[in-house]
Amino acid sequence: MSRIAYVDGAYRRHGEAAVHIEDRGYQFADGVYEVIAVRAGKLIDEAPHLVRLRRSLAELRIAGALADAPLKVVLREVIRRNGVVNGIVYLQITRGIAPRDHAFPKVARPIVVVTARRSRPANPKLAEEGIGVITIPDIRWQRCDIKTISLIGNVLGKQQAREAGSYEAWMVDRDGHVTEGTSTNAWIVTGDNLVLTRAAENAILNGVTRQALIEIIHREGYRFAERPFTVAEAKAAREAFLTSTTSDVTPVVAIDGQPVANGVPGLLTQKLRADYLAHIVE
C-alpha cells in the first residue's frame, strides 16, 4: 500500500506531497502540530490533542484553520488510506503561504498537512530495562507551552542525547530545575513516594500523556505534586520516568550516567505504566 498524505484539501501520494516554498512553516516555523497515537485502529486521547491544537493556534493567532469536525474526518481518512492500525498520525497547521515578511500577512489561509505512519510497538526492552537521559541547558524560548513546529532547541538536544548514547535529554532552566525532555515530559518519585512533575506553565508542553497520567494518579490516590525539581533531586530520586504519546510511560534508570536508585525501573513507575496502558485500551 503506497503512503498517502493530506495536503491543503487534497490526498496525495506521500512521495509527491509538497507545500509551497513560501509556506510560512518552511520559512519561519510559523505553525503548530500534534502527534496522536493510533492503537488497534483507534485515535488515543484525540479530544485533548484537539483542545491543545486549538490553544496553540489561538496563542499564535492563526485563524480560519479547518474546524474540528472536518479535521477529524481527515485524520480518519489518512489513517484508513495508509492502513494504519498501530502507529501515529501527524497533523501540522501553518499560517499559510505569503511573500516573506516577518509580520503576519494581511491575507493568508492556513495550510493543513496530515500524515500517518505505521509503527511497531516500542521495543519492550525500553520498558523492562529502562532508559538513560542526559541533562543539558534548556536553550529554548519562553513559550514552550505552545506546540509549535519551531523545534530547533529540541532537535539539537535530542541529537546530543543520541550522540551520548542516551534515549533522551532532560533540559534544565537557569535555576537548575528540569523543564522537560526534548519530546517528552519528565517525572520523578521522591524517597517518600511523592510523584513529582513540573506544573504546566510556559516552560513546558502540557503533554496529553501527562494529563492522562495525572488523572490516573488522582484516581489511584498516589501522592502527587506539580512543582519544579532540580537535577540533584532527580539524581537522588527513588524512581524517574518520562511520558509522551510515542513513549507512553518509560522508566528512566540513569541520569548523566548515574543510576537512579539501584538502576532498575521503579515499582510505582511500572504500576503507572500498566495503568496508562490500560487507559489507552479502554
Contact residues toward ligand PDD (CB under 6 A) are 35, 154, 180, 183-185, 205, 207-210, 243-246
Position of minimal CB gap to ligand PDD: 207
Distance (Å, rounded) from C-alpha 40 to C-alpha 111? 29
Of 108 and 198, which has the nearer Cβ to ligand PDD? 198
| Residue 48: CB minimum distance to ligand PDD, A | 8
| Residue 31: CB minimum distance to ligand PDD, A | 13
Helical residues (DSSP H) of the chain, grouped into ranges: 24-28, 46-59, 68-81, 124-129, 152-163, 208-220, 231-235, 267-281
| C-beta atoms surrounding 245 within 10 Å | 19
Distance (Å, rounded) from C-alpha 230 to C-alpha 252? 16
| Residue 38: CB minimum distance to ligand PDD, A | 13
Of 155 and 225, which has the nearer Cβ to ligand PDD? 155
Distance (Å, rounded) from C-alpha 144 to C-alpha 200? 10
Q: Would you call 72 a catalytic residue per the annotation?
A: no
Cell, residue 24: 510560512
Of 145 and 256, which has the nearer Cβ to ligand PDD? 145
Q: 68-81 and 46-59 are packed helices; what angle lies between their axes, rounded to 10 degrees?
A: 120
- From the centroid of its chain, how far is CA 207? 6
- From the centroid of its chain, how far is CA 254? 21
113 touches 5 (CB < 8 A):
yes
Of 185 and 270, which has the nearer Cβ to ligand PDD? 185
The answer for 57, left when phi > 0, alpha when psi is -120 to 50, beta otherwise, is: alpha
- In residues, how long is the chain? 282
Find the catalytic residue in 147, 158, 235, 271. Answer: 147
Of 180 and 239, which has the nearer Cβ to ligand PDD? 180
The residues carrying an active-site annotation are 147
